[in-house]
Amino acid sequence: MATATINRPRDPNTLSNYNNWRTLHTSTTLEILFDQQKLQGIVSHDLQAITDGESDEIILDSSHVLVRSILAEGKPAKWETAKRLEPYGSALKIKLDRKPKLNERIDIQIELETTESCTALQWLTPAQTSNRKHPYMFSQCQAIHARSIFPCQDTPDVKATFDFSIKSPLPVIASGLGAKENPTSPSADGSSQLYKFHQRVPIPAYLFAIASGDIATASIGPRSTVATGPDELKDCTWELEESTEKFLQAGESLVYPYAWGEYNVLVLPPSFPYGGMENPVYTFATPTIISGDRENVDVIAHELSHSWSGNLVSNASWEHFWLNEGWTTYLERRIQSIVHGGDQWRDFSAIIGWQALADSIKNFGEEHEFTKLVIDLKGKDPDDAFSSIPYEKGFNFLYYIEKLIGKEEFDKFIPHYFETWRGKSLDSYDFKTTLLDFFKSDEKVSAELAKIDWDTWFYKPGFPPKPNFDTTLVDVAYRLADKWEEFTKEPNPDFGPNKLDIDGWTANQVVVFLERVMAFKTALPVPHAHQLGSVYNLKDTRNVEVSARYYQIAMASGDQSIKDFVVKLLGQVGRMKFVRPLYRGLMKLDYETAVETFEKNKDFYHPICRGMVAKDLLGSK
């Protein structure tokens, strides 16, 4: 059985000396101060020496955190904050009065407060929320932003249990199981109330999560709750209640029983930068999945899959991010095939994913380091490497292995892999060893696995080999796109665009059609782009997956009239999947409008999104 070497520092994106110390438990006693937009309180770490008498210094990751005082074993400790090293922050060095022996434990208490430069927290004024009554705050710690809330070993190679004690005048959600006495409504007089949560399954620091605001809850299954604003609760409940438990049961049938007790969903305000964040117990989700048609809830299948891939079994560093996201995308699509009825649904999703992969490779360039499966992040910011590539290239690698050895054999490996690495972190080489070891007594399967060109899959930039996907569910979309391509070149008496062209389609089939149009060698002429949007009613749809793609087609055609729709959407949605491509299109159509729109909305966007769009704007000059 493959085992990790505990003393090997595998993560280049941490300044901590986690090869000398490991955090076993973290307790956070924090107060949310909305008026000052900061957290303050005490964070305690229970650390264990994993070397014998080698180090009298504990080094933690820290970024823009104001440290007030530190106690080590209950006594004031000497400490210093090192000079800032971008993009990793400032190492916090805590001096001990001795060099502890192997397995000796040290308790560290840090009195602190966050600052306005904190990159993990977004603070919303009442005016930025749906009912405009109360402020709102939420965290997003992946990849290396937990260190901006509190000093910690901010690496996925370290996992710890957590206790949360959070004071707030508004309801609190956290990535743990809540105590029964937690209040469920805003305090009448605005005073702080105490909320407690516990996470008994060890998690890396990036899965620390809290949110606080005017939050209401409703049941969406026997072990699931949705939390969101009171005005959105009815819509969110309807959207999620049909599929959540089905997704859970499908995931359990592929791997093993769900380990986290409850699976809940917090639907955040629209500035949340991702489709979802797999925070344990409470997935943080974008409101763009609430489209009124249940067409986008497969995002929940993805985030739920992280309960096994990423949360229980984690990549040891962000250089091996595909182990989190490739596996999760693979499980998500297997869940889709179970719930929706057949592998054609998995391949349908994979075809959409291939287009996302192509877009990301185009944006980076086919020879770029970040188009590899295993990437080099030494001295680099993991956020800069974020794209669909680890998701889709990782999925395609696992899909390739499954097809190579057969689904029946691969399905035997899935629970073995997740049990072998349960509660641990691994890299790509551990994955390879685990796979080969599992089948080493099976000569037939081993002979097939010997065909894998590991170096090419791990290190070759650009596209992987494209599988022969089942196109049953996309053929109709491809045929319509082909008709449009011919229609734009010369008059076609046999084709006149009609709303019946897409009658009975799912929204995702419309997405595939639009992506095919986006891929035309020549952009649609402006009149045809107009016609496309009006005939199929694509401009005002509530489904952002559809409207955002249509807007990109219209901008590429040079349609100036689409600007108002784009600008409006960019002021309503903060999900980077939509925001960044829309800004790229707007920059080409009207750079000044793009800059004006960003300046107007930059405080609406999460700090991660704001930073990425600012880089895009600067890079396009």
The residues annotated with a catalytic role in the active site are 303, 391
273: annotated binding-site residue?
Answer: yes
The closest of 609, 565, 563, 610 to 587, measured between CA atoms, is 563
Contacting residues for 193 by C-beta, under 8 A, at least 6 apart: 167, 168, 169, 183, 187
Partnered with residue 71 across adjacent β-strands are 76, 109
278: annotated binding-site residue?
Answer: yes
Q: Residue 437 has which token pair?
A: 């070891």
**E strand or H helix that includes residue 343:** helix 343-364
276: annotated binding-site residue?
Answer: yes
Considering only the C-alpha atoms of the chain, give the largest distance between any 2 of them, rounded to a whole number of Å: 87
CA distance 412 to 416: 7
195: annotated binding-site residue?
Answer: no
Q: Residue 616 has which token pair?
A: 């895009």
CA distance 581 to 446: 43
Contact in structure between 527 and 491 (CB atoms under 8 Å): no
Contacting residues for 337 by C-beta, under 8 A, at least 6 apart: 343, 345, 346
Contacting residues for 329 by C-beta, under 8 A, at least 6 apart: 302, 305, 353, 391, 392, 394, 395
The closest of 197, 375, 174, 378 to 266, measured between CA atoms, is 174
Convert 282-293 into a string of H (helix), E (strand) and C (coil). Answer: EEEECHHHCCCC
572: annotated binding-site residue?
Answer: no
153: annotated binding-site residue?
Answer: no
277: annotated binding-site residue?
Answer: yes
Type of residue at 567: V
The closest of 157, 116, 236 to 424, measured between CA atoms, is 157
493: annotated binding-site residue?
Answer: no
Partnered with residue 76 across adjacent β-strands are 71
Q: Residue 215 has which token pair?
A: 């939050």
Q: Is 154 exposed, middle or buried (0-12, 13-18, 19+ CB in 10 A)?
A: buried
Contact in structure between 29 and 113 (CB atoms under 8 Å): no
Radius of gyration of the chain (CA): 25
574: annotated binding-site residue?
Answer: no
Q: Residue 42 has which token pair?
A: 């005490």
140: annotated binding-site residue?
Answer: yes
Contact in structure between 402 and 394 (CB atoms under 8 Å): no
269: annotated binding-site residue?
Answer: no
575: annotated binding-site residue?
Answer: yes
45: annotated binding-site residue?
Answer: no
Residue-wise burial string across 233-246, b where 16 or more C-beta atoms lie within 10 A, e elsewhere:
bebbbebbbebbbe
Dihedral sign computed on CA atoms, order 505, 570, 381, 23: negative
Q: Could you report how far apart the first and last alpha carbons of the chain are, in Å?
A: 52
CA distance 59 to 1: 32
580: annotated binding-site residue?
Answer: no
141: annotated binding-site residue?
Answer: yes
Q: Residue 560 has which token pair?
A: 């100036």
Task: Please enumerate, by residue number, every residue annotated as part of a binding site.
Answer: 140-142, 273-278, 302, 306, 325, 575-577
Binding-site residues for Zn(2+), in ranges, read 302, 306, 325
Annotated binding site for a peptide: 140-142, 273-278, 575-577
